Amino acid sequence: MTVTDALGRTDFQALQSYMKNPKSHNLTYIIFDLLALDGLDIRRQPLTQRKETLLSLMKDAPGNLHYSRHVQGNGKESFKAACELGLEGIIGKKADSIYTGTRNGSWIKLKCDQRQEFVIGGFTLSDKKTRGVSSLLLGVYDDNELVYVGRAGTGFSESGMKDLEIKFNNLKRLKTPFKVSPVPKSNEIITWLEPELIAEIKFAEWTKDNLLRQASFKGLRMDKQPGDIKKEKAKDEAGELQKQTEINDNSIIIEGIKITNPDKVMFDDPEITKADVVRYYSQVAERMLPYVNHRILSIVRCPKGISQSCFYKKHPGADNKGIAILPFLTGDGKTEDYFYIKNKSGLISEAQMGTLEFHIWGSRVDELEKPDMMVFDLDPDEGMDLDRVRQGARDLKSLITELSLNSYLKTSGGKGYHVVVPLKPTVLWDTFYDFARRVAEVMEQKWPDRYTANVRKANRTGKIFIDWIRNGRGATSIAPYSIRARKGACVSMPIAWDELDTVTPDGINMKDALLRIGRDDPWKDFFRNNQLLKS
């Protein structure tokens, strides 16, 4: 449970304020792991599998619930980015680790600033004050003895100081709790306290005398026991995080852009190199860009190939070249930076960084609040006969045609087909989203034994889920001509409706796609449609 600031960063002091006055802030619940589901204990499943299950549960979650996305690999880069953004740091976890609830070496915490919890053993009051707190006297436990480590004299708000005074009143004692007491200054009075309260402290460094320098109070911690507070060993971030991207001298130039490690294998079967991927995007750019440029992107990067580390990315980083940054207001009132590409150079630059998949918003950046591309994903239950999936695409097309709308077909590169409806940007997201939902619900009502509009997997048994949820503000769908980061390097490819019975959802790979772009474009009139929704 956190309180976040205007930039989406967690704010520990704001959380402290919330605990005193719940009306002062709004809480955000960031969910990073799943330990049980429907009575089944899944703690012994690998972390990545638990998180996949969690992600599937959090589709269309309320705005104050956030799935904690992760980055696989690129630890050094992630740590640097976190610090540049003013975040507290990162947690590094072993991807295959089980959940034990204890410190067992499967995860590490890396902090941008030096922060630690300390036990409060007393406080001082200078002769210039009649009440309040001038500084906190802090300690850590060593062999069951409280060792003094220094003072924190800044970071107190007026309300925070009053709160400390109230808590201190019941903890005063006559003798020092420290093994060796600090020497009082001439202009102050020390009040000793029972060592029961724990403070989170930000500080610059440890001195040679093992004392804190420039310590600042950040808040009380109620979730730990004083006896567990010990001096934390400083970690060498360079040693803790192994660099994930190999740097080689060999490189090639494609479309004026330097491609490093061109021989890196991105797909094993068939073997496809990074250079192959970049050349693919260079060759399909003319067909692909009308659907991708000037649309907010979410991407999947696999800098070491699909067999090793892939991660999902929707915010720009320091490595982004050939892209444009777009600050925009999210649904919960926060401003976040998103990004889009303008031209072929942007597409190739992303591929150079190891990007395989491109997922796009349903609106363009010049009409961000008025979407123009509606996508329905036919998601069949496991093991469903392909003929039933094809019939689902036909049924959906017939329904959309009854609504006097043209629709287009493409492969997903996975289990199902995508049916896409181009529209003029005339209505806002709520109207657009509601229309898509009602189309899916009509499918369910007309053929209840074939289709469901319900996202829960329990409702999909023997049916096709008509996934309409990707038509909401902030949701994305795989772009036409995008490679999928899956075995076989399949492509989400535009096809003609009369090809439905001859092309499978994962039946077009990169080689096939390149052959197809030399033929007539099955979506050649996609942008010539003059169809629209009305409010």
Instruction: Decide: 95 and 158 in contact? Cβ < 8 Å.
Output: no
What confidence score (pLDDT) does residue 24 get?
66
Q: Which residue has the higher pLDDT, 426 or 22?
A: 426
Residue with tokens 């029972």: 194
Give the 3-state secondary structure of residue 172: strand
> Domain limits of the chain?
32-111, 114-238, 257-361+476-490, 368-475+493-509
Among residues 112, 117, 106, 136, the alpha carbon closest in space to that of 230 is found at 117
What is d(CA 225, CA 237) in angstroms, rounded to the nearest whole number?
27
What confidence score (pLDDT) does residue 242 get?
39
**Which pairs count as long-range contacts for 236-240, CB under 8 Å and 24+ apart, including other chains?**
237/76, 237/79, 237/110, 238/76, 240/75, 240/92, 240/108, 240/110
32-111 adopts what CATH topology? D-amino Acid Aminotransferase; Chain A, domain 1 (3.30.470)
Tell me the pLDDT band of 234, cut-offs 50, 70 and 90: low
The answer to whether residue 246 scores a pLDDT higher than 50 is no
What confidence score (pLDDT) does residue 477 get?
97
**Percent of the chain residues topping a pLDDT of 70:** 93
What is d(CA 10, CA 270) in angstroms, rounded to the nearest whole number?
44
The answer to whether residue 90 scores a pLDDT higher than 60 is yes
Question: Tokens standing for 128?
Answer: 């210039």
The answer to whether residue 84 scores a pLDDT higher than 80 is no
What is d(CA 433, CA 221) in angstroms, rounded to the nearest whole number?
43
The answer to whether residue 244 scores a pLDDT higher than 60 is no
What confidence score (pLDDT) does residue 320 get?
66
The dotted CATH code for 257-361+476-490 is 3.90.920.10
Q: How many CB atoms lie within 10 A of CB 486?
A: 14
Terminal alpha carbon distance of the chain: 38
The answer to whether residue 318 scores a pLDDT higher than 90 is no
The answer to whether residue 155 scores a pLDDT higher than 90 is no
Burial class (CB in 10 A: 0-12, 13-18, 19+), 247: exposed
The DSSP line for 510-528 is HHHHHHHTTS--TTTTGGG
Tell me the pLDDT band of 145, cut-offs 50, 70 and 90: very high
The answer to whether residue 429 scores a pLDDT higher than 60 is yes
Query: Mean pLDDT, to the nearest integer, of 1-5?
Result: 82
Domains 32-111 and 257-361+476-490 share a fold: no
114-238 adopts what CATH topology? OB fold (Dihydrolipoamide Acetyltransferase, E2P) (2.40.50)
368-475+493-509 adopts what CATH topology? DNA primase, PRIM domain (3.90.920)
- pTM for the model stands at 0.56
With a CB cutoff of 8 Å and minimum separation 6, the contacts of 77 are 244, 245, 317, 318, 319
Query: Mean pLDDT, to the nearest integer, of 66-94?
Result: 80
Among residues 445, 441, 299, 424, the alpha carbon closest in space to that of 374 is found at 424
Query: Mean pLDDT, to the nearest integer, of 383-389?
Result: 95
Mean pLDDT of the chain: 88
Tell me the pLDDT band of 186, cut-offs 50, 70 and 90: confident
